[in-house]
Amino acid sequence: MSALVIENLSVVFGRFRALDGLSLAIDPGEVRAVIGPNGAGKTTLLDAITGIARPTSGRILLGDDLDLTRRSEAQIARAGVRRKFQKPSVFPALTVRENLEIGCGLDCPASERSDRVAASLAETGLEARADTLAGSLAHGEKQWLEIGMVLASRPRLVLLDEPVAGLSDAETVRTADLIRSLRRPDRAILVIEHDMAFVEAIADRVTVLHEGRTLFEGGMAGARADSRVIEVFLGR
Amino acid sequence: MSGAMETSSMAAPRRLVPDLGGDPLLAAVIGLVLTGALALVLLQPAPYLVNMVGQLAAFAILAVSLDLVWGYLGILSLGHGLFFAIGGYVCAMHLLSHAYAVTGVAPDLMQFMGWKSLPLYWFGLASAPYALVVALVLSAAIAFVFGYASFRSRVNGVYFSIISQALVYVAMLLMFRNDTGLGGNNGMTGFPLLFGHPIGAPGMVTGLAVATLLALALVLAGARALVVGRIGRSMLACRDDEARLRTLGYSTTRLKLGIWCLSATIAALAGILYVPQVGIINPRVLSPDLSIEIAVWVAIGGMGRLGGAVIGAVAVNALKFWLSAAMPEAWPFILSGLVLVVVLGLPNGLLDLATLRPKPTWLRRGGGLG
């Protein structure tokens, strides 16, 4: 049983192969980091999983059985896949609490909503900011709010696109703690990140992408020692 | 609160959508509208003044309908004149067939066209409730077809605006044809009766104006209830980041389609109320510049605040009523000038005057967020 299986996935934009026959399997409860140089296809991978980019070929299976390949963004989200975007994308005209309420999703029973919002506020440490407009939050707080919105839906697959981009060292440490606390046996987390120290702190395994393909898969220590990975990261 | 968050504790900005009862502007506007209705009944001003108030109120309803989709949902329609015209045309058809049924005098339209009787699609429109249903359902249905095709194909932003403009233009060309049976370029006019009474009687003029003011108050209250609720929050979320809302599991197509059709229905209501007061409908209502002007009213008044749309519609049209008599050729220049002032200095429209800062936006150096 895998949380997410990607089989031979290709995404082609015109003549550019953003993903080129990529295969990947993530176990339930795993935190997987995907790293790679710019243009390696990391964000395209998340776009394909969430239905924003249409795969040219290949399949994406959620929990071994549910094929996400041809579903709409909304259907994929309702199947339990949630994403935090690279650019913090919270709804600026709504308060932190209202953002989290929207994050709960349409399938959340009304009776459960306030409990989930309270839980997300506690997990992200934003209780004191609950009634502040999200547009006036600091950058780090927006990142946490967006993670909170992801959590409020109780997702089975969490996709985090560069959660510590632009954060201070203290904020990065706090975000790593937050992501570690999200780990649950029935939840898989896929993180895209450039910050190697951060990846080492949170991930069980890393997948190194290069030109739309897997270059390396395994522990972070192995990745650091792998000659091809070193060449890709340092050779350009 | 942790140390890292301390840095960001700035004052919370003004909410875009205040809580129920927390919008003094809208409360004041609704209060003024109701007071105005009462004043028309009690003070009995000159009929031409009463009539002008009624027309302004109809334009205000039209502006609110656009604010609902533009200010709260980010969909700029440059074709709302279409739905206004559908309401107006169906209302005119009702007035003519009603008068024909009561007096037996054939409307001019039939004589021009050489008809012995009104065509089939006029059937039943002598009945006011049926005509009302036809106008509202027809505008909602056309909005649905157009909206479904556009939103499903993810036609957004400026592309949607352009297509909506094209739609109203096509409708204008169609209505300029004389063989549509809807009056061609002359349109329809000469409505003698409303509900069996002479339409120009002072009581009728006041009645129409008061009805329009009450409709405006109801539309404002209803729109307010909608935008402060759960749907309203989804609308703001969709306006600010539609892709994000979709990845949270929401069908934004359904949301946009629903509000779009509602907005079209409200615009049709405005047209229904407008035509008996102005006494004519013709294809010029469908001209693209009128539809753009509706957006100008909303922008000038202040979008996304409901009350702002009313202020904009009333202010611009009052000015227009006055100037088109005083110096008609200056009007386009004044309107353009107003737009420039708003765009450069008052991004939230006239509402900014209430919180005017010493320097307009374009003179202010980059503020807090780096």
Round to whole Å and give the CA distance between A112 and A154. Answer: 11
Residue-wise DSSP of B230-296: HHHHHHHHHHH-HHHHHHTT--HHHHHHHHHHHHHHHHHHHHHHHHHHH-EE-GGGG-HHHHHHHHH
Q: Cβ–Cβ of B4/A128 closer than 8 Å?
A: no
Average pLDDT over every residue of B87-92: 95
Nearest-by-CA chain B residue for A93: B16
Which of A92, A103, A132 is closest, CB to CB, to B248?
A: A103
- Of the partner residues A51, A74, A92, the one whose CB lies closest to the CB of residue B251: A74
Q: What pairing do the DSSP bridges indicate for beta strands A4-13 and B280-281?
A: unpaired
Rounded CA-CA distance B84/A91 in Å is: 32
**Closest Cβ opposite residue A102 in set B5, B237, B251:** B237
d(C-alpha A143, C-alpha B20), whole Å: 30
Q: Does residue A1 belong to the interface with chain B, where contact is any CB pair within 8 Å? A: no
Residue A46: the pLDDT is 92
SS3 B366: coil
Quickly state the pLDDT bin for B69 (edges 50, 70, 90): very high
Residue of A nearest to B14 (CA): A133
Lowest mean pLDDT among A12-16, A198-202, B255-259, B362-366: B362-366
Smallest Cα distance from A73 to chain B, Å: 5
In tens, the pLDDT along A203-231 reads 999 999 888 888 888 888 888 888 888 88
Task: Please give the mean pLDDT across all residues of chain B.
Answer: 85
Average pLDDT of the residues in A106-130: 89
Whether the pLDDT of residue A2 is over 80: the answer is yes
On chain A, the residues whose CB falls within 8 A of the CB of B3 are 170
A7 forms bridges with which residues in the sheet?
Answer: A59
Secondary structure of residue B302 in the 3-state scheme? coil
Tokens at residue A67, please?
A: 């094929």
Q: Which of A73, A76, A87, A151 to probe the B interface (max B CBs under 10 A)?
A: A73
Look up residue B109 and give its DSSP letter. H
Q: Do B4 and A140 touch (CB under 8 A)?
A: yes
Residue of chain B minimizing CA distance to A89: B244
Contact of A52 with chain B, judged by CB distance below 8 Å, is answered with yes
In angstroms, the CA A96 to CA A78 distance is 22
Q: Is A63 on the interface with B (CB under 8 A)?
A: no
Q: Residue A137 and residue A152: Cα distance in Å, rounded?
A: 19
| Residue keyed to tokens 């990261």 | A233
Q: Among A127-141, B101-115, B142-156, where is mean pLDDT lowest?
A: B101-115
User: What pLDDT is stored for residue B370 in this prediction?
Assistant: 31
Q: Are A170 and B35 in contact, with CB atoms under 8 Å apart? A: no
Query: Looking at residue B217, what is its pLDDT?
Result: 95
Instruction: Tell me the pTM.
Output: 0.84
Tell me the shortest Cα–Cα distance from B68 to chain A, in angstroms.
15
Condensed to tens digits (0 to 9), the pLDDT of residues B24-60 reads: 888 889 999 999 999 998 988 888 899 999 999 999 9
Q: What's the order of all strands across the beta sheet hosting A213-218?
A: A81-84, A157-161, A188-192, A31-35, A205-210, A213-218
Q: Give B287's pLDDT tier (boundaries 50, 70, 90).
A: very high
In this structure, the dihedral spanned by the alpha carbons of residues B54, B55, B59 and B64, taken in order and rounded to 10 degrees, is 10
Q: What phi and psi, each to the nearest 5 degrees, are found at residue A195?
A: -75, 105
Distance CA B85, CA B269 (A): 10
- What lies within 8 Å, CB to CB, of A11 at 6+ separation is A17, A18, A19, A41, A44, A47, A48, A53, A54, A55, A56, A212
| Minimal-distance CA residue of chain A relative to B252 | A74
- Measure CB to CB from residue B250 to each of A74, A101, A125 and give the nearest one: A74
Contact status of B309 with chain A (Cβ, < 8 Å): no
pLDDT tens digits, residue range B190-239?
Answer: 888 888 888 888 889 999 999 999 999 999 999 999 999 889 999 999 99
pLDDT band per the 50, 70, 90 thresholds, residue B366: very low
Report chain A residues whose CB lies below 8 A from the CB of B243: 52, 73
Selecting from B8, B12, B239 the residue whose C-beta is nearest the C-beta of A141 gives: B8
End-to-end Cα separation, chain A, in angstroms: 38
Query: Which residue, among B179, B196, B215, B175, has the nearest Cα to B89 in the 3D structure?
Result: B175
Instruction: Looking at the complex, report in whole angstroms how far the Cα of residue A87 sits from the nearest Cα belonging to chain B.
Output: 11
CATH of the domain spanning A1-80+195-236, picked from 3.40.50.2000, 3.30.420.40, 3.40.50.300, 3.40.50.720: 3.40.50.300
Contacts of B233 in chain A (CB under 8 A): 94, 98, 101-102
Token pair of A169 as six digits? 């060292």
Task: Give me the residues of A, 157-176, that contact B with CB < 8 A.
Answer: 168, 170-171, 174
Smallest CA–CA separation between A60 and chain B, in Å?
A: 16
Pair B305, B351: CB distance under 8 Å: yes
- Look up residue A20 and give its amino acid: D
Residues of B in contact with A50 (CB under 8 A): 247
Q: Determine what percent of chain B falls in helix, strand and coil, rounding each to the nearest 5.
A: 70, 0, 25
Cα separation, B361 vs B21, in Å, equals: 30
Contact A20, A212 (CB under 8 A): yes
pLDDT exceeds 50 at position B9: no
A43 close to B (CB below 8 A): no
Kindly tell me if the per-residue pLDDT of B136 is higher than 90: yes
Choose the closest CB to A133 out of B7, B13, B245.
B13
Q: Which residues of B touch A123 (CB under 8 A)?
A: none
Collapse the DSSP code of A216 into the 3-class scheme (helix H, G, I; strand E, B; otherwise coil) and give the result: strand
Partners of residue A101 in chain B, C-beta under 8 Å: 230, 233
Cβ–Cβ gap B3/A170 under 8 Å:
yes
CB within 8 Å: B236 and A129? no
Q: From the CB of residue B205, how many other CB atoms can be counted at a distance below 10 Å?
A: 22
pLDDT score, position B142: 96
Q: Is the pLDDT of residue B87 over 60?
A: yes
How far apart are alpha carbons B370 and B367 in whole angstroms? 8
- Taking 90 as the threshold, does the pLDDT of residue B326 lie above it? no
Query: What are A49-80's pLDDT values in tens digits?
Result: 999 888 999 999 998 778 888 888 888 988 99
Decide if B215 contacts B310 (C-beta within 8 A). Answer: no
Judged by CB atoms closer than 8 Å, whether chains meet at B13 and A135 is answered as yes
Q: What are phi and psi of B107, to 5 degrees?
A: -65, 155
- The reply to whether residue A91 touches residue B15, judged by beta carbons under 8 angstroms, is no
Radius of gyration of chain B (CA): 22
Residue A15 DSSP class? T
Strand (E) or helix (H) holding A22: strand A16-26
Check if B246 contacts A (Cβ < 8 Å). Answer: yes
CB proximity B231 to A under 8 Å? no
How many angstroms separate the CA of residue B265 from the nearest CA in chain A?
A: 27
B246 and A77 within 8 Å at the Cβ level: the answer is yes
Reported as a single tens digit per residue, the pLDDT across A27-38 is 999 999 998 888
The two counts, helices (H) then strands (E), for chain B are 14, 4
- Asked if the ipTM is above 0.90, the reply is no
Helix or strand holding residue A182 (H, E): helix A169-182
Q: How far is CA A93 from CA A116, A130, B228, B232, B309, in A?
A: 21, 13, 12, 11, 19
Domain regions of chain A by residue span: 1-80+195-236
Distance CA B113, CA A61 (A): 66
And the tokens for B362?
């374009």
| Nearest CA distance, B16 vs chain A (angstrom) | 6
Residue with tokens 């243009």: A39
Give me the sign of the Cα torsion angle B285, B291, B292, B293.
positive
For the segment A129-185, what is each residue's pLDDT rounded down to a tens digit?
Answer: 999 999 999 988 998 899 899 889 889 999 999 888 888 898 899 889 888 888 889
Among B8, B233, B252, the residue with its CB nearest the CB of A94 is B233
Alpha-carbon distance A158 to A147, whole Å? 9
Q: Where are the domains of chain B?
A: 28-354
- List the one residue out of A91, A74, A89 whose CA is nearest residue B250: A74
Tokens 């539609």 correspond to what residue? B242
**Angle, helices A96-104/A110-124, rounded to nearest 10 degrees:** 120
